[in-house]
Structure 1
Amino acid sequence: MWNKTLLIFIRYFLILMMIIGIIINGTTLTPAMIIFIFVFITNNQIRFFSLDRMWLKIISFMIEILFIAIAYKWIGGYLIIYLILSAMDSNLVLKKPVKHIFNIAIILQAILLSSNESLEFKFINMAVLIVIIATLYLIQDESDRKIEAQKLYDKLRISEEKLMSANKELEIYASSIEELTLLRERNRLSREIHDSVGHSLSTMVVQLGAIERIIENNPKGAKEVTKELRKFTQNSLKEVRTAVREIKPKKFEDYQGILIIEELIKNFKKLTGVDVRLSFTKQKWPLSSDQSFVIYRIVQEFLANSVRHGKATLIQIFMAFNDCELAVTLKDNGTGSDCVLEGVGLKGMRERVTEIGGVFSYTTKLGEGFLVKIELDKVEKLKIYSQEGTYGQD
């Protein structure tokens, strides 16, 4: 964008130079000349400050080109001052392609008006005029680029705001879907409990009432009813356990350790605002209760230490499962240290991993964060080793 204050200053400066040039030229100014100069300046100022329509600006500019020829031949002064003022207005007020036409017209006017002047005069005037017009083109091009960049930035900002708004709407939608899913699951659970447990308990109440009525007069009959009630209760218990197993899928049981760690990280992110990223390989196998507990405690300790001591803003946790073992890598972008003294936290981590037959290691460097690595054998592998040890003892 053009600096309007600077442009106004330059315009008035050129007008002042034009008047000084006329005075220096030694021309005796008549009232008609003074009126003509006043009309010339008025036309120039009205075009720049007041005229909005392009066709009016073009007419004003054509009048000025005629006025320049009259002023230079009649009143005198410096031709280059007239032409610079005209060229500046041509590049600021007019638009393409009209601007190009008037710039050519200004150059042709310079050639015609200086036809009777010396070669040196022609060369200086033409060189200065062409350089100024070229400079104005460069400035205008740079201004257009900035305007285009600003428009692009505004579009990107609007797109970003729309994207953020859409993301919030998706989060609200996901939250509502989650709540709806929970409500449906609760309804399903209530039906399951009503159909299985409720029916069983109702039957038991009826049977117990029957036992209560006949136990004094017919103990043998009460005993038979009691036996039947015990069998019914056992069958009902089996049905309840089956229903619970259906409600809690096997996959949840197998990967409950990972799910608990995910829940820990989710709550930690909510409380601290730290970016924690958990990822793992496509291949996974169930963790034992000891492994789940140890990994949970180590992740918990690492998260706390990364924020408390390392001032970390990003924590990455990767669980790599393969056929034989699990490698858990925990890395933060904290301050790190070149000299680490193992405190209660690090010692506790090492002891927990060692107790279940794993390997614990860590590396850190000042400015490069802290990295902890845990290696644990697969559960089946541990069982094989245990059996081999038993056979060896036999």
Structure 2
Amino acid sequence: MWNKKLHISIKYFIILSLLASILMNSISVGSKEVLFILIFIINNQVRFFSLENDHMKKVSFLLEVILSIIAYKYIGGYLIAYLVLQAMDSNTLFKAPSKHIFNILIIVQGIVFSLNNNLEFKYLNIFIPGIFIAILYLVKDENDKKVEAQELYDRIRISEEKLKNANRDLEIYASSVEELTLLRERNRLSREIHDSVGHALSTIAIQLGAIERLTAKDDKTLNELTKELRVFTQKSLNEVRMAVREIKPKEFEEYEGILAIEELIKNFKKLTGIEVRLGFSKEKWRLNSDQSFVLYRIVQEFLSNSVRHGKATVVNITMNFIDDKLIVTLKDNGIGQTDIVEGVGLKSMRERVTEIGGFFSYDSISGEGFLVKVEINKIENLKIYSQGDEYEQD
């Protein structure tokens, strides 16, 4: 609440003022009085600088109240100094309701010891400590408001950062969905043209070739027309095949592993109703069969765990292709768990990634979901899987 250096400076100033008042007003100060004053000061300093336990601080404060009463009655000094010193610690070291009780105790001391004194003495020992305590309450209230405002600002800043991250993930997801959809459509069109128009033209060219051979001897004019039509059809067929090659995305092979994962996600969403978002970077390099297989199994296991253990409703999967490695991040919004016991599923994921020379890690905090991170090098020694080990879906 207070600036610590200012607090210490005021505390020492009051203690010095108290000692000065004792020396000026006391007839004699012997060894017993000096020892008592040392005990009083040591108790005050130990409470402020050393004691951590709140209960011990309260005991120390009550001890100071008793020592202050004895010192004021039998040694001397200004009562207001004792009370202000108590008020400082009461309002800086303790919280409600202890603080309120101690403040009432301070005011009661001022009233009791001022009953038989003049009005000026009563004013000094009752109203000034009361005003001092009121000022400390105001300072505490202002400080609480500042702390509350700072906490609110921090929460807003954290929420803003989360919102930015969520917006970025959604943009990546939307871009990835659009890109995959476009590639799928281009691939579908190329396949449709090849299977329908290409097949029809190919059949026509074969039939015209047969007609050309049949009319070679009987009708030269018809033969020439048939030949020209066959050449034209063959030329059209070549143009269609060229168009099919142009339409079919060259980078489609780069997406084979991603498309397999996307198909897994699509089926998972249909079965569970859980929202799963798949996003990937603009730059990509082709995943080989082992990499595709491992990533497929990782995603499959993670989705299964998110439902069974995490009770998640949203899963975000991001594939970031950089120059020399692929970083895959899988994050759900499930219940999470601080103390994780690595079971068969996590061990299996770790082993699969390690076998292809990758890096596997995970993290989870209770109430904040589960995070898995996989790093796969672009070039590594790869394990050859058996032909019978194919993609499966839960």
TM-score, normalised relative to structure 1: 0.55
Query: 2:26·2:75 contact (CA, 8 Å) conserved in 1?
Result: no
Counterpart position of 2:131: 131
Residue 31 in structure 1 maps to residue 31 in structure 2: yes
Counterpart position of 1:222: 223
Q: Distance in 1 between matches of 2:135 and 2:196?
A: 89
Counterpart position of 1:170: 170
Q: Count residues in correspondence.
A: 238
Instruction: State the 1:75 CA deviation.
Output: 1.1
Instruction: State the 1:5 CA deviation.
Output: 1.4
Instruction: State the 1:102 CA deviation.
Output: 0.8
Counterpart position of 1:283: none
Counterpart position of 2:14: 14
What CA deviation, in whole Å up to 9, does each residue of 1:141-196 have, x standing for no partner? 11111111222122212212211121121112112101110111112211221133
Where does 1:95-174 land on structure 2 (aligned, <5 Å)? 95-174=95-174
Q: Structure 1: 5+ residue runs without aligned partners?
A: 240-394
| 1:142–1:27 CA distance, 2 compared to 1 (3 A) | farther
Q: Distance in 1 between matches of 2:111 and 2:197?
A: 107
Counterpart of 2:7, as a letter, is L
Counterpart position of 1:48: 48
Q: Distance in 1 between matches of 2:187 and 2:66?
A: 91
Q: Distance in 1 between matches of 2:82 and 2:203?
A: 112
SS at match of 1:28: coil
Q: Distance in 1 between matches of 2:212 and 2:10?
A: 113
Query: 2:205·2:233 contact (CA, 8 Å) conserved in 1?
Result: no
Query: 1:86·1:106 contact (CA, 8 Å) conserved in 2?
Result: yes
Instruction: State the 1:20 CA deviation.
Output: 1.2
Q: Distance in 2 between matches of 1:209 and 1:174?
A: 51
Where does 1:192-341 land on structure 2 (aligned, <5 Å)? 192-207=192-207, 209-210=209-210, 213=213, 216-218=216-218, 219-222=220-223, 225=226
Counterpart position of 1:184: 184
Counterpart position of 2:2: 2
SS at match of 1:117: coil
Q: Distance in 1 between matches of 2:207 and 2:81?
A: 117
Larger of the two Rg values belongs to structure: 1
| 1:174–1:3 CA distance, 2 compared to 1 (3 A) | same
Instruction: State the 1:48 CA deviation.
Output: 1.0
Counterpart of 2:46, as a letter, is I
Counterpart of 2:24, as a letter, is I
Counterpart of 1:169, as a letter, is D
Q: CA RMSD in A?
A: 2.9
Q: Distance in 2 between matches of 1:158 and 1:137?
A: 31
Counterpart of 2:223, as a letter, is A
Q: Distance in 2 between matches of 1:160 and 1:2?
A: 31
Instruction: State the 1:47 CA deviation.
Output: 1.0
Instruction: State the 1:100 CA deviation.
Output: 0.4
Instruction: State the 1:223 CA deviation.
Output: 5.3
| 1:27–1:140 CA distance, 2 compared to 1 (3 A) | farther
Instruction: State the 1:204 CA deviation.
Output: 4.4
Query: 2:212·2:226 contact (CA, 8 Å) conserved in 1?
Result: no
What CA deviation, in whole Å up to 9, does each residue of 1:263-289 have, x standing for no partner? xxxxxxxxxxxxxxxxxxxxxxxxxxx
Q: Distance in 1 between matches of 2:27 and 2:191?
A: 110
Greater relative contact order structure (CA < 8 Å, 6+ sep): 2
Instruction: State the 1:17 CA deviation.
Output: 1.0
| 1:27–1:217 CA distance, 2 compared to 1 (3 A) | farther
Q: Structure 2: 5+ residue runs without aligned partners?
A: 241-394
TM-score, normalised relative to structure 2: 0.55
Counterpart of 1:39, as a letter, is I
Counterpart position of 2:306: none
